[in-house]
Structure 1
Amino acid sequence: MTATITDTAYPTPPTSFPSPSPPTEGSPWHNGSRAFLTASVPDLISRLTKYEKIKLLAGADWWHTVPIHRLDIPGVKMTDGPNGARGASFAEMTAGLAIPCETALGATFAPEMVHRAASLLAKETKDRGAVALLAPTINIQRSPLGGRAFESFSEDPLLSGLMAASYVEGLQQNGVSAVLKHFVCNDQEHERSAVSAEVSERALREVYLRPFMIAVQEADPLAIMTSYNRVNGTHVAESKHLLEDVLRREWAYNGMVMSDWFGTYSVDLGILAGQDLEMPGPAKWRTEYLVDHCLMSRKITERQIDTRVEKVLHWAQRLARLSPDVVYGDDVEITSHDARDRAFLRELAGSSIVLLKNKGNVLPITNKRARVAVIGPGATSNCVSGGGSAALNASYVVTVLDGLKVGAPSDLELAYCLGTPAHKLLPHLYGIVNEDGDAGCDLRLFADRDDMAHPARAVRRLRLCDSSGLISDDIPENLKDRPWFAVMTGTWTAPVTGAYEFSLSVCGRARLYIDGLLVVDNWDISQRPGDGFFGQGTVEEMGVSHVNKGQECQIRCEYSNVAGSKIGQEVKDESQPIHNFGLRVGGFPVVDQEQELQDAVGTAQGCDAVVLVVGLGPDFESEAFDRPDLSLPMRTDELIERVAAVNERTVVVVQSGSAVNMPWANKVAGIVQAWYGGNEAGNAIADVLYGRRNPSGRLPITLPKREQDVPAYTDFKSEKGIVHYSEGLNVGYKWYQARKIEPLFPFGS
């Protein structure tokens, strides 16, 4: 099969990134004997000193629990999910597989497929040297505006619970602990550590707790993570009613309960309520001094500490028995390549795709000697997931354009054009390489600003997988709690000739130089707060430079972890719990948007059909911020309407984790909801468009005609630390049925 495609002046993202270099020494966490496997937990507790017990109540670092070598108790390593296993570093992410987002999994309505997906994630987790995956997320999609809606299965508690149970079983039957999250009512990002979800007892039970109850009773997750927020005035991490009365007594849950990262807010209240483990470490609350002070004042007793320690040790022992080679391994992270995994990911992504409209049987595209226009910013995007904790370094990415090219019927001609930019942040500098010639940048950390000109004086070198780095969990001990500096370098080959816009967003301050010339200054200016770096970064500051196609440009970004003059006083959301450091460099050609739209219309006019690929991405759907509205970015809606006006066989492919507005729904011939499809998204979409796979997915959420129809429309986001769940039981499709509101596309369609 062959296909032709017109040349494009815009950069195509890479298909893979390298894994970071493995450590040169073995991990300090797993170097004990295996006596722990057969040890009696009560006996171990009796032999632990008071201070050893206190240490076991919190993590050792970002991803490990504390080992007690004296008693051969190993540390346990965790890693983030839910659509892949990232590994132990945000900055140096190990390349891995990305399964479709959880909304896509929900759209399969196939628990057996989710079980297979989780089994694959168990293997990926072990490849990262970990035995616990922070997943699945089963919060209800109360509103499509929720920043992490893409991480959840559905608006329906029964579907969410059944999918979660299969996910948990797939992990745990393969030796990896599920960490069910976020218990409970973590349905928005606005003031997420402070907000109180004011919800009736009946709605709490029947809607928000129900998926957790189903997963606990059907699959017995080894661990559960408490949410950041409060419920009816009390932080879940300190709620004896939710953790002890409901979870442990009513549901007979016997596993471990851990905090979300920095989601512990006290010493005694959390311990008394039943939160076993504070993460991450080292401890912020459960320090030797603070816990000992609570013991001395009789706020807690050592027996109550023993209860919490017992849960942690039983959890660690079960994992050591299930996966001893990993728990007692060397903690080296690897990337596996298996053609069978790729084939399954393609099948899984294809099974999640929902065909919402197919007027005049515009699909499948099977005509030979036809000319098809592929238009839209999503066609060449390497977006595999939303952002935040779900972010991954995908080992490879099949874009929609790649999939359509490779899988095209014989003699089908494809013509591509951008149509319109649709990014919130300028894309990473695709094509940048570090000094070793690998994809990505070098980032060197320095103790003194004068050392920045001398790479040999670096305290640490990090190998970033692209032109950005969140480095909060990679800071050497001798740089913590003090000012430090960094330099990010790389060689970038310009993909076009002409004006190129560069951007710099930081959590700290920085300057960007291109071939030695200052292009963007985000150091001395009054910095403006933005959404990046979990809500703690600046907005992008911009600069323009002229480049020539094929020109090798030297990128240098100088950074300080000390924020600029105003950012510390003007943080958008002071309830974000994690203190971050990082920098992000973006770039994109300066384009004439009107000319791009005209080019798209001209291309569409001369074609037999149009595939318009649009959607969102990690800059729009992410942890730490919510979406402001349901609109597609920039001039996307205008692009669709103008193209549809000149070609009646226009098919729109939407890549998003939740609902988007579709004011053009009646003007196009086809609509395909493709979600975030993971590594194989492009091939899976091509399989559907070319008729090789039946689009059997069904909507796990309701798509509204307008944002005002969403049940939580009048009560979303926090006001003075409170959000009222005023819709009660009428969440999702129940609202539309009760109010007789016609959705654009109903749940299950």
Structure 2
Amino acid sequence: MESFDVEQIIDKLRVKEKVQLLSLKDFWHTYNVDRLEIPSVRLSDGPNGVRGTKFFRSVPSACFSSGTALAATFNEELLEDLGKLMAKEAHHKGAHVILGPTCNIARGPLGGRGFESFSEDPYLSGIAAAAIINGIQSQGVGATIKHFVCNDIENERNSIDVILSERALREVYLLPFQIAIAKSKPKCVMSSYNKVSGEHVSQSKRLLTDILRKEWGWDGLIMSDWFGVYSIKASLDAGLDLECPGYPLMRKHDAVMHAIASREISMDVIDDRVRNVLKLVKQSIESKIQFNAPEDSKNNTQETSSVIRKAAAEAVILLKNEESILPLQRSDKIAVIGPNAATPRIFGGGSASVNSYYGVSILEGIKSKLEDAPPYSLGCDISRNMNDLGKLSSYDGEPGVWIKSYKEPADYPHRTLLEEFRHEFSNLLLFDYVHKDNDSSLFFLDIEGEFTSPKTNNYKIHLSCLGTALLYIDGKLFIDDKTHQRMGFGAIGAKSRGETKSIKLEKGQTIKYKVEFGSAQTFTLETLDLVGSNGGGSLSLTIGEDISDETRIQEAKEVANSADKVILCVGTSNEWESEGFDRPDMDLPGSQIQLIEEIVSMNKNVVLVNLSGTPVTLPFTDQIPAIVQGWFNGMESGNAIADILYGDTNPSGKLPLTWPKRCEDNPAFLNFHSDKGKVVYGEDVFVGYRYYEKTKNLPLFDFGFGLSYTDFKISNLRVDTDIETLKCTVDVQNVGLVEGAEVVQLYIGSSSNTVGVSRPVKEFKGCKKVFLKPQKSAEVSISVPIKYACSYFDVEHEKWSVEKGDYSVYVGNSSNSSKLLVSKISVAQPFLWAGL
């Protein structure tokens, strides 16, 4: 396919064709104009992996570490390599544009999508995003930095009005995007759902045009988040090029053409928006990625696994290691306990989820290190919705369930069968399910499976949906979620509350079940949630043992008592950290606190492994000798954690988020959720470690903190400056006995002459990861532009300001000032600056 001249195409396009190009034609594709040989560009979600064009029945993909885990590596070179691997995945999915990375700020620990973002720190977020974008775009694939801007909570995310100072907006929330654009020039920017200071970002001319395009000089494509457009004229005038998804909710073709004909919208504005879409199409042609390509899983290779495993291991953080209880020896008599031991917790919930090639649990990773499998106990259950029944079922002797799709409901005399297929899940997210022979989002599914009980047991079975559903067991109606539905809660989209019923099964007893499901149009309750209701709806069919956590904890105590050391695996999951809602608190869900207390009372040699995307409350830390933070760490998570536990890899991860002792200690505690549609960012520029240092409130673990199995000495700080650049150089020596990596971190303290402006004690401004064999040394240098190192945003002048005076320079291996080398630089001539 040949490239084209954008301006010539604009002249040839008809008005209707231009209007079509202003939105997607479906969930993932731009409009094609066959008359002029303009192809359709394919987009794909990308926070944790390149999913392709489907949620339901998606082609398996590589699952990468979550954003917070990636930032924990503090390794820009590694992140660029991961970006290249993401682009390779995109090639296999026929995707020209990846919808990532996510570059919002984790201003508190409770954000539902906090795991998708990188850090509480804007500079670390910016350089991490830039590294990934450079990797992606080096392979011809476009990257989309998102969500621009202040999309930092999920509570009322489409309507929430973020109220914040201009300094906070510039220095904390816009700065990551500014740095990423300066260092990587992403092809696309995705606007956020929320308002900023009274105006939806997707129709904010100040943010999208005045700052993003004019001040920063960026000239790519701006797209909306899905269902994140709230106007026709305002969004077009503001600079929003592409409404997502299609068929458009706001930019309906006739409505836009009417606005053009009535001169409500200038044709020049339409051409400006179309121009950016065509530039992206042209770049996609030049990428040589096939258009309308079939999607495949051929990137499921050992090379892919090795890169993802290396990244996952570099993300793991050793937070505590008293008396060198770690690394484990193969000869250690261990037990593995906890709700996050046997289940792979590899990604957070929502659009970050992928149909992973595979997922390795911690228990599986540990088993691979040992000749004999260690004793294991669940300890307690943290499932919100229990276990997917389809994953435990079979049909006609093969795993999974059998699904038949019809145009008509089950009681219709002559139904039209659309298709039938085997599927491994009974939890179905169907909002993008379509069939070529059905021109409506109204459809009906018959889902059949068999479940055989592995032991005599009481079970709970739950059914709920967005749509309607009837569950039959052995031909008898068991749960009716159709006749008298009640509203429940869905992370993405509304759903019914459903019903849970108990059933007793003998060991080896098999039940045959069938669900008759009607899509979202049959839902008997009213919902305004467009993400969930715009399509096929959803179904949840789950099963769990009807057993108390008290019984499970007693079983776990017996297992713990039989071992010398206990690997206690706790944390959250994609049911607790997800797009669509925020966490109510930092507490570990379920009975995990009781489990920890009971196990610690039985066995003092506990290694606590926490899997979560953001901080959780960790009680009893003074009684636990070793603590490991494992994140939502991708498909190789279990192997990477086992590599760390057994010393095959030396831990080198550092915290990209300050870890508070209590939720009440975090700076956003008092003003995190919506207050009648508004949220005030009352902590201002004092996000994360900036707040803890300013208030002298010690957290549980500092920003940038992380231990190793070896020791490093950082010494001999040298600071050089010229008019534009600050360069810091130190000597780093591995003074321990094993090979390892250290992260040298640079922080800058504000000018001694600053008057009338409250500034952080110091701010992170760069890092370098160095790998050293025992007793070896290396010289490490970090350079940063003076204007980024020393400035604050001067609201009076509406520019960045570098003031005259002395600035403190701190270099070390965490933000803890007691461990930092200190020097000073002087700025003789103050100056103001704008742009990048």
Give CA-to-partner distance per residue, 1:137-190, whole Å, 9 cap, x none: 000001211100000000000000000000101111112110110000000111
Aligned partner letter, 2:342 = T
Residue matched to 1:59: 24
Residue matched to 1:469: 428
Give the deviation of 1:443 after TM superposition.
3.2
Query: Is the Cα contact below 8 Å between 1:82 and 1:151 reproduced in 2?
Result: yes
Match of 1:541 among 499, 506, 518: 499
- Relative to structure 2, which stretch is displaced further, 281-290 or 560-569? 560-569
Residue matched to 1:374: 336
- Relative to structure 2, which stretch is displaced further, 590-599 or 627-636? 590-599
Give the deviation of 1:606 after TM superposition.
2.1
Distance 2:441 2:70 in 1: 44
Residue matched to 2:352: 390
Matched, 1:347 2:310: yes
Residue matched to 1:422: 382
Distance 2:473 2:334 in 1: 39
Matched, 1:664 2:620: yes
Aligned partner letter, 2:249 = K
1:363 match: secondary structure: coil
Query: Is the Cα contact below 8 Å between 1:263 and 1:577 reproduced in 2?
Result: no
Give the deviation of 1:621 after TM superposition.
0.6
Aligned partner letter, 1:330 = A
Distance 2:478 2:588 in 1: 30
Matched, 1:357 2:316: no
Give the deviation of 1:115 after TM superposition.
1.0
Give the deviation of 1:549 after TM superposition.
4.1
Higher normalized helix content (fraction of residues): 1
1:714 match: secondary structure: helix
Aligned partner letter, 1:388 = G
Where do 1:154-553 residues align within 5 Å? 154-322=119-287, 324-327=288-291, 330-366=293-329, 368=331, 370-408=332-370, 414-429=374-389, 431-432=391-392, 439-450=399-410, 457-461=416-420, 463-476=422-435, 483-532=442-491, 534-553=492-511
1:378 match: secondary structure: coil
Distance 2:310 2:326 in 1: 19
TM-score of the aligned structures, taking structure 2 as reference length? 0.81
Aligned partner letter, 1:496 = K
Distance 2:457 2:136 in 1: 50
Give the deviation of 1:87 after TM superposition.
1.6
Give the deviation of 1:297 after TM superposition.
2.5
Alpha-carbon spacing, 1:563–1:278, altered in 2? closer, same or farther (3 Å): closer
Give the deviation of 1:578 after TM superposition.
5.6
Distance 2:689 2:135 in 1: 29
Distance 1:580 1:310 in 2: 34
Higher normalized strand content (fraction of residues): 2
Distance 2:525 2:585 in 1: 25
2:227 match: secondary structure: coil
Alpha-carbon spacing, 1:198–1:479, altered in 2? closer, same or farther (3 Å): farther
Distance 2:507 2:139 in 1: 49
Query: Is the Cα contact below 8 Å between 1:502 and 1:520 reproduced in 2?
Result: no
Distance 2:72 2:302 in 1: 25
Matched, 1:555 2:513: yes
Query: Is the Cα contact below 8 Å between 2:390 and 2:401 reproduced in 1?
Result: no
Give the deviation of 1:553 after TM superposition.
3.5
Aligned partner letter, 1:622 = S
Residue matched to 1:615: 571
Query: Is the Cα contact below 8 Å between 1:355 and 1:673 reproduced in 2?
Result: yes
Aligned partner letter, 1:378 = N
Residue matched to 2:734: none
Give the deviation of 1:450 after TM superposition.
3.9
Give the deviation of 1:492 after TM superposition.
3.4
2:115 match: secondary structure: helix
Structure 2, unpaired ranges of 5+: 706-836
Match of 1:689 among 636, 642, 645: 645
Larger CA Rg, structure 1 vs 2 = 2
Give CA-to-partner distance per residue, 1:432-483, whole Å, 9 cap, x none: 46658664433333222246798x7323446544111111111347756675
Aligned partner letter, 2:120 = E
Match of 1:84 among 40, 49, 52: 49
Give the deviation of 1:585 after TM superposition.
1.1
Aligned partner letter, 1:58 = S
Query: Is the Cα contact below 8 Å between 1:431 and 1:493 reproduced in 2?
Result: no
2:230 match: secondary structure: coil
Residue matched to 1:12: none
Distance 1:563 1:544 in 2: 29
Query: Is the Cα contact below 8 Å between 2:110 and 2:586 reproduced in 1?
Result: yes
Distance 2:489 2:151 in 1: 22
Identity value in percent: 39
- Relative to structure 2, which stretch is displaced further, 420-429 or 63-72? 420-429
Matched, 1:120 2:71: no
Aligned partner letter, 2:433 = D
Match of 1:592 among 544, 548, 551: 548
- Relative to structure 2, which stretch is displaced further, 94-103 or 595-604? 595-604
Residue matched to 2:701: 745
2:502 match: secondary structure: strand
Distance 2:458 2:502 in 1: 6
Alpha-carbon spacing, 1:367–1:389, altered in 2? closer, same or farther (3 Å): closer
1:341 match: secondary structure: helix
Distance 2:15 2:147 in 1: 30
Distance 2:394 2:260 in 1: 52
1:459 match: secondary structure: strand
Query: Is the Cα contact below 8 Å between 1:101 and 1:676 reproduced in 2?
Result: yes
2:501 match: secondary structure: strand
Distance 1:117 1:479 in 2: 39
Give the deviation of 1:109 after TM superposition.
0.4
Give CA-to-partner distance per residue, 1:627-655, whole Å, 9 cap, x none: 11111111101101110111110111000
Distance 1:350 1:257 in 2: 35
Aligned partner letter, 1:394 = S
Distance 1:249 1:665 in 2: 50
Give CA-to-partner distance per residue, 1:588-644, whole Å, 9 cap, x none: 212232121111112212211000111111110111111111111111011011101
Query: Is the Cα contact below 8 Å between 2:365 and 2:638 reproduced in 1?
Result: yes
TM-score of the aligned structures, taking structure 1 as reference length? 0.90
Give the deviation of 1:491 after TM superposition.
3.4
Give the deviation of 1:521 after TM superposition.
2.5
Alpha-carbon spacing, 1:99–1:458, altered in 2? closer, same or farther (3 Å): same
Alpha-carbon spacing, 1:726–1:579, altered in 2? closer, same or farther (3 Å): farther
Distance 2:277 2:180 in 1: 20
Alpha-carbon spacing, 1:233–1:579, altered in 2? closer, same or farther (3 Å): farther
Give CA-to-partner distance per residue, 1:552-607, whole Å, 9 cap, x none: 433311112357887426x7x79989666010111121223212111111221221
Distance 2:51 2:422 in 1: 15
Residue matched to 1:17: none
Give the deviation of 1:231 after TM superposition.
0.5
Give the deviation of 1:96 after TM superposition.
1.3
Aligned partner letter, 1:348 = A
Residue matched to 1:109: 74
Alpha-carbon spacing, 1:430–1:529, altered in 2? closer, same or farther (3 Å): closer
Query: Is the Cα contact below 8 Å between 2:227 and 2:530 reproduced in 1?
Result: no
Give CA-to-partner distance per residue, 1:204-236, whole Å, 9 cap, x none: 000000000011110000001000111000111
